[in-house]
Structure 1
Amino acid sequence: MNRRNFLGKAAVTGGMAFCSCNLFGTRVAKAAPARLPVVVNGKRVKTIDVHSHCMFHEANNLLGPQAAAQLEPNINGTKEVFIAVEERLKAMDSQAVDMEVLSVNPFWFTADRDVAAKICDINNQKMAEITHAHPDRFAAFASLALQDPQLAAQQLEKAMKTMGMKGAAIGDVVGDDEFSNPKFDPVWQKAEELGAVLFIHPQGVPALSKRLQGNGWLTNTVAYPLGTTIALQHLIFDGTLDKFPGLKVLGAHGGGYLPSYAPRDDHACSVAPVFCNPNIKLKKKPTEYLRQIYVDALVFTPEALRHLAAQVGPSQIMLGSDYPYPWELHPVDAIMATTSLSEKDRAAILGGNAARVMGIKG
């Protein structure tokens, strides 16, 4: 059986294969390893990873040598975040990923405004060079100096109109200001106008740093999903998504904790109206906004992905790996292993949704 036929058969059967691998004494199911091209129901699927990272020494160095050194990756000693295109392409091929949408996690929000502007310019120019040289393999989210919303709106327009970017990576908070702060409205208005995707990728919750110390890397495993959750909750409850109903927001790590316990939101203001602003009249129940938020599929297990799809809808989920950080080195396999998804849903999550939302051609 050739590779294409094998993948077609794997898709029809949910891509499941069982092994006797032992993980903490538990028999686990593994997806049959996918390779390019990926086929679902006999049709070629373009796989698009919307959650993949890169950095550039030239931009980092603008913060000075000590600060730049602190940005060095320290997970398994990987330096792959400083992207070497040919090596990245090999990694993508091994993951059955046709295209990565590159992003740089914002590290410049506390920097001087002019320094931040230069950092963003370098990031955007470098990524534009990569995407223009390999338009079939890479797309990108722009970097924005959000500490100056007017400048950020200009940067977003330039990135979308002249550099071919698909949106922007915006972190989850800017200093002490949540994204629902009206000061950021010019950015969201511009994003809505341009059809830009705003990728919310968290950077932890420093206010909880003391409680998150100890074993288990809780500053990431707890704080990162929490950061995304808080950002999305403010966009919902403060009325930002009502103000900008066409805004395309993409939440990393499955949208954080929000999809796991969203129904609690529907009761908050009726249980304790004193904690809700009577001047904010949401147009929908809080849970209904989940259907206008996009999330990545980085939730690790078929059951978690089944639940995520039930909460937000398969049309709102996109493939994500967090590469080069080794959270999920076979993201396509994880989708194929989720037997609760229909073939149509698998194809959409693997790449169809990203292509539709970001205007990526097959």
Structure 2
Amino acid sequence: MADRLRKIAVEEAFIVPELAERLRDFSNSPSLSLDKLFFGPLYGGKLRLRERPVLEDLLDVENQRLAEMDRLGVDMQVLSVTSPGVQMLDADTACDVSEIINDRLADIVHRRPDRFAGLAAFAPHAPKRAAREIERAIGQLGLNGLIVNSHTNNEYLDDPKFYPILEAAEAHDATLYIHPRAPSDLMAGALHSYGIESAMWGYGVEVGTHVVRLMTSGVFDRFPKLRICIGHMGEAIPFWLWRINNINAKGQRAGLCPKTELSMQEYFLRNVYITTSGMEDPLALEYSIRKLGADRVLWAIDYPYEASASATKFIEEAPLDPEVKKKVAYKNAEALFHIAPAR
């Protein structure tokens, strides 16, 4: 009998009641944010993808979630606060709630270090305080990385105002996971209809745009050791990478794009990692591994928004070389998020 495949899922959402209550209030506000189309029903307790409301799955970590992990052979989940996190709160409240999230998350990880790791939350709209929270969460609480839900107040991390956050992430060797939320107002206009503002299309467009901004702006020249992780098989960037690289090179020669030290492809292959969350397509997985290398692709479920059973079956049955499969299933996660190997 073949050895059982160790599995670490790296984009797995949870929430604390203090944030859920504030986002429930926001969902009842007059805001026109596209996020409300999905998160209004979620925080109102009306969104169901399985037997119980998604909000209950997000609030529960050590009961039904853990039982499902046991049943399906998922060894660990890397937990992170669900989108849109604290980024829709005012800056002071967002900072305070981030501290609560990180304290609770650290408690969970310390109780069950064999089953859970955690990505720290922070408030991007208070960059200096966010940098201090990153130092506390990584240096004192021992969390495994960072989570940001793409734009904050329609602004992206290539803006120099956010450099204290990127500097802290690089200094603490903390991978920054850029998770989706609904597109910013800058590109929301055509995405109001047919449900395409969310995971069907808008989420990938949002995060893909964010990462391309980081590459083209020269952020990775200033922070060469900064590591970014994105989900959903790279938010389509691996499939566009040749064209992004080619057009940017032409643009730099013509003076239409900022000069950078490396090419767009070099930045992506040096600074960016991707996960399989919500993309159970064997051909996409094969392409991504061949394009980026087996060390840069990680397995994820996207719990509780995607089904754990199908995601687990996807990696177990993936037609990969056994050593490559081990890298994708758990070894890359151990390396990228500082998770101790199983004893």
Structure 1 residue 61: deviation in Å?
2.4
Let me know the Cα RMSD of the aligned residues.
Answer: 2.1
Q: 1:129 to 1:123 in 2, by over 3 A?
A: same
Q: Unmatched 5+ residue regions in structure 1?
A: 9-37, 40-44
How far does residue 183 in structure 1 lie from its aligned partner after superposition? 1.1
1:82 matched to 2:42? The reply is no
Between the aligned partners of 1:214 and 1:327, the Cα distance in structure 2 is 26
Decide whether aligned partners of structure 1 residues 124 and 117 sit closer, same or farther in structure 2, where only a CA change above 3 A counts: same
Report whether the alignment pairs 1:108 with 2:86: yes
Match of 1:139 among 110, 117, 127: 117
Matched, 1:296 2:275: yes
Paired with 1:172 and 1:75, the residues of 2 have a C-alpha distance of 25
Q: Output the amino acid matched with 1:60.
A: A
Q: Pick from 166, 175, 186: which aligns with 1:188?
A: 166
**Greater mean deviation of Cα atoms: 111-120 or 64-73:** 64-73
Residue 211 of structure 1 and its aligned partner are, at CA, apart by 2.6
Kept after mapping to 2: 8 A contact 1:49/1:319? yes
Give runs of aligned pairs for residues 29-68 of structure 1, distance below 5 A. Answer: 38-39=4-5, 45=6, 47-62=7-22, 65=25, 67=27
- Point out the structure with the larger strand share: 1
1:257 is aligned, of 203, 211, 236, to 236
SS in 1 for 2:199: helix
**What is the CA distance between 1:281 and its match in structure 2?**
2.5
What is the match of residue 117 of structure 1?
A: 95
Deviations 1:69-101 (A, max 9, x none): 835262423220112412111111233211111
User: 1:303·1:338 contact (CA, 8 Å) conserved in 2?
Assistant: no
C-alpha distance in structure 1 between counterparts of 2:127 and 2:142, whole Å: 21
SS in 2 for 1:49: strand
Deviation, structure 1 residue 117 = 1.3
Partner residue in 2 for 1:99: 76
CA change 1:275–1:110 in 2 (3 A) is: farther
SS of equivalent residue, structure 1 residue 315: helix
Deviations 1:118-163 (Å, cap 9, x if unpaired)?
A: 2111111111111111111011111101101101100011000111
Counterpart of 2:314? 334
Higher mean C-alpha deviation, range 248-257 or range 110-119: 110-119
Q: Which runs of 4+ in 1 moved over 6 A?
A: none
8 A contact 2:86–2:122 mirrored in 1: no
In 1: Cα distance, 2:287 partner to 2:130 partner: 36
**CA 1:128 to 1:285, structure 2 compared with 1: closer, same or farther past 3 Å?**
same
Q: Work out the percentage of aligned pairs sharing the same amino acid.
A: 25
Counterpart position of 2:146:
168
- Letter aligned with residue 332 of structure 2: N
Letter of the aligned partner of 2:59 in structure 1? F
Q: Name the residue aligned to 1:269.
A: 248
Note closer, same or farther for the CA distance 1:203–1:61 as it changes in structure 2 (3 Å cut). same
The aligned amino acid for 1:230 is T
TM-score by length of 2: 0.86
AA in 1 matched with 2:219:
T
AA paired with 2:314?
Answer: A
Whole-Å Cα distance in 2 between the matches of residues 132 and 117 of structure 1?
Answer: 22
CA shift in 2, pair 1:303/1:122, >3 Å: same
Distance between the aligned counterparts of 1:66 and 1:357, measured in 2?
34
Shift in CA distance, 136/210, structure 1 to aligned 2, threshold 3 Å:
same
Unmatched tracts of structure 2, length 5 or more: 29-38
3-state DSSP of counterpart to 1:254: helix
Partner SS for 1:117: helix
Q: Name the SS for the 2:63 alignment partner.
A: helix
